[in-house]
Amino acid sequence: MSSFPYLSVLTVAPLVGALVVAFLPRSRPDLAKWVTLAWSLGVLALTVALWVAFEAGGERLQLRESYPWIPGWGANFTFAVDGIALVMLMLIAVLVPIVILAAWHEADHSGRSVPVYFALLLALESTMIGVFAAADVFLFYVFFEVMLVPMYFLIGSYGGAQRQYAAVKFFLYSLVGGLFMLAAVVGLWVVGGHTFDWAALTEIDMSTGTERWLFLGFFLAFAIKAPFFPFHTWLPDAGGVAPAGAGALLVGILDKVGTFGILRYCLPIFPEASRYFAPLALVLGVIGIIYAALLAVGQNDLKRLVSYTSIAHFGFIGVGIFAFTTQAGTGAVLYMVNHGLATGLLFLVVGMLVARRGSALISDFGGAGKMVPILAGVLFFAGLASLAMPGTAPFVSEFLVLIGTFTVNKPIAIIATLGIVLAAAYVLWMVQRTVQGTPNPALAEVEGMRRDITLREKVVVAPLIALIILFGFYPKPITDVINPAVQATMEDVGATDPAPTAITEAAK
Amino acid sequence: MDDLKAPSIDYAAVAPILILFGAACLGVLAEAFVPRRARHAVQLGLALLATVAGLVVVVTQASTRITTATGALAIDGPAVFLQGTILALALVSLLLMGERKLEAGGAFVPQAAITVGSEADTRQATRAPGLTEVYPVTMFAVAGMLLFVAANDLLTMFIALEVFSLPLYLLCALARRRRLLSQEAALKYFLLGSYASAFFLFGVALIYGFVGAVDLGAIHAAAAESDRDPLLLYAGLALLSIGLLFKIAAVPFHVWTPDVYQGAPTPVTAFMAACTKVAAFGALLRVLYVGFDGLSWDFTPVLGVIAVLTMIMGAVLAVTQTDIKRLLAYSSIANAGYLLVGVLASGEAGLASTMFYLVAYGFTVLGAFAVVTLVRDADGEAGHLSRWAGLGRRSPLIAGVFTFILLAFAGIPLTSGFIGKFAVFGAAIEGGQTWLVIAGVVSSIVLAFPYLRVVVMMWLSDPSDATPTVSVPGLFTTAALTIGVAMTLLLGVAPSLLLDLTTGAAEFVR
């Protein structure tokens, strides 16, 4: 095992970058952009090194570092990752440079400081890395809450119309969840005998009642963050007005903190309560799939539509987690990654279209494919990936979730399958109404629509498309890393696996 | 009269109190003999010097655990710690009071007795330097507070209460701008404060009736051993608590707070919000932990209800405020509720967490009011929230600092506000008071809204012509603001040092 402190360096590096960028002169925005891009690529390189240092199939939590912080409380800067956290860190490291490139001109006309926009993106990256790298509940909570601050300013300062409302709603919803989690964290600390160490907390015994209450405190925070039905209403508002870059990070990564938190904290620390509340979570997940998909069909705003598809997908992830089979669990984690790639791509492409048209209303488009054929093609591809077309990465994960759920809970799996049909409906309809058909006469008037995808935008979408296709056919690099972690998590909740060997078969 | 002996006093232990009283008396003399021109510098210098000297002596007394003056004073862990806190916070408050760069002549009126609006008043309002009596008066208040947290019998406590309250009533009336509002606030504070003192004194009388003594040790013994009907004791405690709850601004004894906070000169408001809170909670802790700890089963539910009401009322009413000082006043009411949660957690953890919270909140609130003094227009401070719109564009640094302070109030991690909340909530859950924590969480959510509204105002709204300019702070205000913000950050990132200190100091002597 390497002695290099990968995780702490990885957490701090973007923050240092943010400070550097924030103090770059406001009059030279290009400098800030290039520095930010270079910095995030540096973080990516470091993450690749981390990936190499990680031993797939080794210990559950690896690359552990611990520094004392508040000894009186037993709170430490403890970092360590399992396979699930590792793939999420990789997803962050890959998405952030792409998002920075996609957001290249986003802050230019906001009338606000451009360097600060990019500094906020880097600060957000730092908190996102921290939240996945923490192996100390207190540290996790700190990152979980602090994460709100840069996102709040990204939405509130650089978003579209209604941004104040959306930013405040986002902040308050997250804060509500966070404060209930705070109460649960305090409770866990008292019950656990004044420790925040993740490994120690998984060992403690507590009474059933206590366990269920504490579980609910954590679960509520994560369900809001994810978001699960019925705690989802902030996401369409936030996603609808967020600048495309921040929005892609919001639905691509930030939301995964919720499902990650359930996997890492709820299940191993409160196994009994997890089993007790699993039926409820499954039902909420299924309702989320159907309900959000139906609402997505009815949206007339592109960004809101993508936000609703995201809620539906989180229903799938929720079902996959609470089905308690390794297969479904692996599918869920895989989905977390693939959703980040596919929905991230969809959000960015939609952002490109919206930037050209100056409006996110579907009715303002129509036949855009005639004017920007390549961009339309990318939108179509992103849509197909989003509806989990075989050959794209989300298909593998959705398939695993449904198969894994079917073996233990047929009704849930069958209803969830309906979500696929609806997904086809909203995606195809969206594509049809925006890029296909006869061109909207008003569209021809818009200057921006005469320019098809630029080189910069090609560089933005190309890696995402490549990864979606790659993992659609060959998900093994990810499944190898996440499988042991998922298996261990499922053992924690005492899940009985009907056919644990089926995963590798299906994955291949 | 051979049998009447002067009580033996440990002068080293009570030295901080004596220093402050001495400085106050010297200040009064200076007011008479120092020429007018030099008075401000001399008075401020004397006050700062005395406060620093007091602080130094307090630090040397850190390990003292004694009662002295025949048991009237207890210089123990909490007393020394809280005295140090009061002095440190008072030092910062003095810096705010001493600032004369923001406004010609400072924040205080030159001659308070001149009729508002008269010709003489207009003359004095423009340029004349403000009163310098505020410094000795403040010294008396600080000395009274030091005495208050060390008082080990109820009569000493009452005297200390009056010693620090009367100067405060006076200070509230001395605002240079909006003097009628200021004087009305002072009158209101004085009247209600007198009632509260009367309740306190009546409570002392009833307790004396039951116990036959006024010192906390005897009360503790009587409460534990006596087999008489304890009704008198309960009634006494209830009345006594009213006096103390008034000072900490707990519901339903909070009604004075917003008016007084708004009307008083802002440096005085800062002083009250930080130091008075420490002093009042110090006394409440001592009364409940030393004198009445045997009755905690009986008073905890009642005080718990008061704590819940305080948190909820403070939070809900803060939402509706449109004036920044009133908003901070309601926020301070809600914070009194969180502090009560720590008090009711009882035991060493409760005591330590309450003391930590007092320090954390004190510095943050001083920083907040320092910012309030800076945001001004031709008529003085621009208190109305709508005027703060777009401040982030005009003065990003000040708006950024204030945002950080508001995040601390909201309890976001990496600020002292978060650590403080965690400490009191942790102690309360450990003490079996989970219901208080739930109420605390719910009220925190509500309370986040007004803070967020100010942040939205500053950053997400566009500046208008009405947006006031931020004055360039003078040296004193800069220092005060820096200390407040630095402490908020430091205690949020590395709270260990202070946590250990509070834990080590969390033991009363009886």
Task: Tell me whether B504 touches chain A (CB under 8 Å).
Answer: no
* Chain-centre distance for alpha carbon B230: 33
Q: In DSSP terms, which residues pair with B74 in a beta bridge?
A: B67
Residue to mutate among A11, A146, A190, with most B CBs inside 10 A, is: A190
Q: Which helix (H) or strand (E) holds B66?
A: strand B66-68
B chain contacts of residue A172, beta-carbon cutoff 8 Å: 445, 448-449, 452
> What pLDDT does residue B266 have?
93
> What pLDDT does residue A60 have?
84
User: Is the ipTM reported for this complex over the cut 0.90?
Assistant: no
- Alpha helix ranges (H) inside B34-133: 36-60, 77-98, 119-126
Residues of B (394-413) whose Cβ lies below 8 Å from A: 407, 410-413
> What pLDDT does residue A507 have?
47
Q: Which helix (H) or strand (E) holds A35?
A: helix A29-53
| Cis preceding-peptide flag for B252 (omega within 30 of 0) | yes
> What pLDDT does residue A168 have?
86
Tell me the C-alpha distance between A384 and A387, whole Å: 5
Q: Which helix (H) or strand (E) holds A64?
A: strand A62-70
Q: In DSSP terms, which residues pair with B151 in a beta bridge?
A: B73
Q: Number of Cβ pairs closer than 8 Å across A and B?
A: 76
> What pLDDT does residue A508 have?
42
Residue contact B499–A189, C-beta within 8 A: no
- Alpha helix ranges (H) inside B61-178: 77-98, 119-126, 134-150, 154-172
> What pLDDT does residue A96 have?
92
Residue to mutate among B391, B407, B441, with most A CBs inside 10 A, is: B441
Q: What are phi and psi of B342, to 5 degrees?
A: -65, -40
Q: How far is CA B91 from CA B182, B185, B480, in A?
A: 23, 24, 9
For residue B426, give the nearest of A69, A145, A190 by CB distance.
Answer: A190
Angle between helices B324-345 and B231-248 (to 10 degrees): 140
Nearest to B375 by CA among B470, B462, B476: B470
DSSP string for A67-116: EEEEGGGTEEEEEEE-HHHHHHHHHHHHHHHHHHHHTTTTTTTSSS-HHH
A chain contacts of residue B503, beta-carbon cutoff 8 Å: 72
CB atoms within 10 A of CB A55: 12
Q: In DSSP terms, which residues pair with B323 in a beta bridge?
A: B384
Residue contact A146–B456, C-beta within 8 A: no
> What pLDDT does residue A497 have?
65
Task: Locate B33 and state its tokens.
Answer: 């003999």
Residue to mutate among A12, A70, A113, with most B CBs inside 10 A, is: A70
Residue contact B412–A186, C-beta within 8 A: no
Stretches where chain A sits below pLDDT 50 are 1-2, 500-503, 505-508
B chain contacts of residue A186, beta-carbon cutoff 8 Å: 422, 425-426, 429, 437
> What pLDDT does residue B229 have?
83
The 3-state DSSP composition of chain B as helix, strand, coil percent (nearest 5) reads: 75, 5, 20
B chain contacts of residue A162, beta-carbon cutoff 8 Å: none
Residue contact A168–B438, C-beta within 8 A: no
Residue contact B445–A172, C-beta within 8 A: yes
Burial of B423 (0-12, 13-18, 19+ CB in 10 A): buried
For residue A142, give the nearest of B414, B434, B460 by CB distance.
Answer: B414
Distance from CA of B311 to the nearest CA of A (A): 15
Tell me the C-alpha distance between A113 and B483, whole Å: 28
Report yes or no: A125 and A43 within 8 Å, Cβ to Cβ.
Answer: yes
Task: Locate A36 and state its tokens.
Answer: 């930010």
CB atoms within 10 A of CB B489: 16
Distance from CA of B400 to the nearest CA of A (A): 12
Residues of B (478-497) whose Cβ lies below 8 Å from A: 494-496
Residue contact A168–B452, C-beta within 8 A: yes
User: Residue-wise pLDDT tens for chain B (510 aa)?
Assistant: 567 777 888 888 899 999 999 999 999 999 999 998 899 999 999 999 999 999 999 999 888 898 988 889 999 999 999 999 999 999 999 999 998 888 877 888 888 888 887 888 877 777 778 888 999 999 999 999 999 999 999 999 999 999 999 999 999 999 888 888 999 999 999 999 999 999 999 999 999 999 999 999 999 998 888 778 888 999 999 999 999 999 999 989 999 999 999 999 999 999 999 999 999 999 999 999 999 988 888 889 999 999 999 999 999 999 999 999 999 999 999 999 999 999 999 888 999 999 999 999 999 999 999 999 998 887 778 888 888 888 888 888 899 999 999 999 998 989 999 999 999 999 999 988 889 999 999 999 999 999 988 988 888 787 777 777 777 788 999 999 999 999 999 999 999 999 999 999 988 888
Report the phi/psi class of residue B432: left, alpha or beta, with left for phi > 0 and alpha for psi in -120 to 50.
left
Q: In DSSP terms, which residues pair with A66 in a beta bridge?
A: A78
Residue of B nearest to A74 (CA): B496
Tell me the C-alpha distance between A8 and B484, whole Å: 29
Task: Locate A240 and state its tokens.
Answer: 């609808």
> What pLDDT does residue A429 have?
87
